[in-house]
Amino acid sequence: MPLGALFADTVSALRGAGVDVRPLEDLGRRLVVEAADGTVFITTRPSDVPTYVEAGAADIGVVGRDVLLERAPDVYELLDLGFGGCRMIYATRAGEDPTPAALAHLGVVRVATKYPVSAARHFAASGRQVEVVKVNGSVELAPLVGLAHGIVDLTATGRTLRENGLVEREDIFHSSARLIANRVSHKLEAGAVDDLVERLQADAA
């Protein structure tokens, strides 16, 4: 179970599919809870969900497509759950786009991001040289203080960009919540996993 922005929608989707999610409704600070039917829920940060699923500590998990593209875990992607929609974008300060000038004069554009793999892949696909600066906090700060020419980050409404004087320059990919499964678990528990997928699809229809 991903904590944060996807948590409430994930609980709602599982409830709609007939899963007993009552232990998640009063989670408190517990990280592992068990339902009456024996279902065990593990809660963790979204970026760690694929790690637990890939290692077999969890049979299935819910995580954003952005994490899957960045981490490339060895898991099965079973279903687009249809919530948590956002976009990965390249943005710079408003006004004239500094990217062409940086490439012309420096031969490289400096980009700050929490998603270094996705950023490098995007610029490499268009043959542009990029210097990726990994940041963990408010990535919008980087172009405002001269750390980078632009940023690669997720946006849902664009509000944070606008409030910080940034504008979107390039759309990289769209992301939403995905149901993933451990490869071995999917084989051993194929019936139960496929049944859950069908119930999730039916509830979303």
Q: Tell me the whole-structure pTM to 2 decimals.
A: 0.91
Beta bridge partners of 131: 110
What domains can you pick out in the chain, each with its CATH number?
7-84+176-204 (3.40.190.10), 86-174 (3.40.190.10)
How far CA 97 is from CA of 94, 109, 117, in Å, comes to 7, 11, 23
Q: What is the pLDDT of residues 103-145, one digit of tens each?
A: 999 999 999 999 999 999 999 999 999 999 999 989 999 999 9
pLDDT beneath 70, residues of the chain: 205
Alpha-carbon distance of 52 to 31, in angstroms, equals 13
For the chain, how many residues are written?
205
pLDDT of residue 26: 86
CA contacts within 13 A on the Cβ side of 166: 27
- 73 and 50 Cβ atoms separated by less than 8 Å: yes
Neighbouring-strand partners of residue 132: 111
Percentage helix, strand, coil for the chain under 3-state DSSP, each rounded to 5: 40, 30, 35
Give the pLDDT of residue 127: 96
